[in-house]
Amino acid sequence: MEENKKKENIEKKKTSDIKSLFTIENLLCFFIIICPILDVASFLFRNYFKTNISISTFIRPIIPIIGICYIFFKDKLKPQLFIACACYAVYAICHLYIFYKQRAGCAYGTIIQEIQYLTNYTFMIMNLFIYTYIFAHKNREKELKEKNQKKTINKLKMSVLISLTIYIALMYISLITGTSSYTYNEVQIGYKGWFESGNSIGTIMLLCLFIVIPMMSKKNSTGIRIWSLMVIMLTGVYLATLLGTRTGLLGIIIVICAYVVINIVHSIIYSKNINKKLVVFGSIVFVIILIAVTIFGSKTIERRKLLKDRQNLIYDQITGAPAHVTGDLVNIVEQIKNGTLSKDYMPEEMQKTILELYDEANQKEISSTDMRTIQLIYHSHLIKNEKGISIALFGNGYMSHFYELIFEMEVPAFLYNFGIVGFFLYCMPFIFIAIYGAYVLYKKVKNISVEYAMYLMGLIFAIIISFVSGYTFFNSSSMMIIIVLTTLVINEIKDMEDAEMKIYERK
């Protein structure tokens, strides 16, 4: 009888262990871990079959859909979810209708591609809700009752460390095997491995570092600290020397400086002593990056020199001087001035805007390779020339423009291309949390942890990068790391509120 009971207990324990693996929290953490695999699969699939279709487009929504269904059926949030879905559905219908009416022959994309962007952003907000609800609310309350606080949050942070490890491992494997693609393929500068965009992979790694670097603290085991340090070193060298983007080179310096400064300030506030080990760590990282840049050179510096040389090679056939917009835009300007450009190909508002862009670029002597400035000027003038309330509210379409004028900077793109309503629905939740987080930092600076400051800096950094550079919210994997940063910020704020409540109750 005793042996049978022991067997039953063992079987129950095995069943319980298996069930504990298949939880919604583990599933969401697994989603973070497989992001690099999905990115590689998407890039290789597209290149092998020469198609714009990505297999990850069909795989990525599966886990968020499971998550939202879990919340919908398990918790009493059906009315709120219905209202939220209705708001996003009404916006999408209005936006797509305007896109359909606005689209002309010069449009770079179709309505199907515009739907893909809207779908991605809707899943972005869906994931934001799922992760903050599960990790910063539901399981938080459960763990507080069980006195097992931080368990799921630690899982979430570990999933980011694993994901970054996979990213950097795949990157170095592609470099060692000589199969890496170029960041700038037309001039064969920089290496982005088996990933779609060099800007995106750089942004993903930098945002991950805001979560991984604080894992070197004494709160974690020696194994995790050594693991984190190795990944940080390998990532830093890659971003500084091999990627070829300004975001990578300047970004790694910003992240390391942020961590060192935050720790120094934190040490002064709490103990009046500067953490000497931290200063040594920052110095070592800088020396390693400096040595790597000196020995191997920097693809970023090489790229900047090339752009400077190229801008003098593009001549304006109208003025005969070096051009301040691209050659294709000069050709369009010439056709507009000659009256040979069809209105079916480009509407009057766009034609007028391109002429204004041409004049302003020449007046301010903007570099013809500075596409982000050119795009910002174009879209700022276009929104004035269109003069439509519906366009201002719901946007004129992201893919309805000439290919060189598609916005790379995402925050302005949300406002101009997706309208005021789209900006509030898709971008404002992240900005609001960042602003509120900064307010909490200001009000409770003496109670702020290093981790909280780094997570908040990461979220603010993501918003800034999305404004000045792009390829942040527009990339599905980068978007997931931003969501994790947002979730960690919210959870840390709640930690501080709980601590204050306990102090109040004791009094």
DSSP, collapsed to helix, strand or coil, labels residue 325 as coil
> Element (H or E) spanning 184, and its range?
strand 181-184
Q: Residue 159 pLDDT more than 80?
A: yes
> Which residue would you say has higher pLDDT here, 76 or 174?
174
| Nearest-angstrom CA–CA distance, 321 and 218 | 61
pLDDT averaged over every residue in the chain: 84
Which residues, 6 or more positions from 180, have their beta carbon under 8 angstroms from its beta carbon? 171, 174, 191, 192, 193, 194
Residue 298: both structure tokens together? 């920097």
Burial of 471 (0-12, 13-18, 19+ CB in 10 A): buried
| Nearest-angstrom CA–CA distance, 242 and 381 | 37
Count the helices and strands in the chain (H runs, E runs): 23, 2
| Nearest-angstrom CA–CA distance, 441 and 435 | 10
Q: Residue 295 pLDDT more than 80?
A: no
Contact (CB, 8 A) for 198 and 243: yes
| pTM (predicted TM-score) | 0.89
Residue 37: both structure tokens together? 């695999």
What is the distance, to the nearest Å, from the Cα of residue 213 to the centroid of all Cα atoms in its chain? 18
| Nearest-angstrom CA–CA distance, 167 and 67 | 25
Under the phi-then-psi rule, with left for phi > 0, alpha for psi from -120 to 50, and beta for the rest, what region is 191? Answer: beta
Q: Residue 6 pLDDT more than 60?
A: no
Strands 181-184 and 189-193: antiparallel
Place of tokens 């597209």: 46
| Nearest-angstrom CA–CA distance, 331 and 334 | 5
Once rounded to an integer, what is the mean pLDDT over residues 367-396? 90
- pLDDT for res 17: 47
Which has the closest alpha carbon to 265: 453, 468, 466, 9? 453
Once rounded to an integer, what is the mean pLDDT over residues 7-24? 58
**Angle, CA 19 vertex, CA 18 and CA 21 arms, to 5°:** 70
Q: At what angle do helices 410-417 and 371-386 cross, to 10 degrees?
A: 20
The 3-state secondary structure of 210-222 reads HHHHHHHCCCCCH
Task: Calculate what percentage of the chain has a pLDDT beyond 90.
Answer: 46
| Nearest-angstrom CA–CA distance, 405 and 378 | 7
Find the range with the poorest average confidence among 42-51, 151-160, 326-335, 444-453: 42-51
| Nearest-angstrom CA–CA distance, 495 and 490 | 9
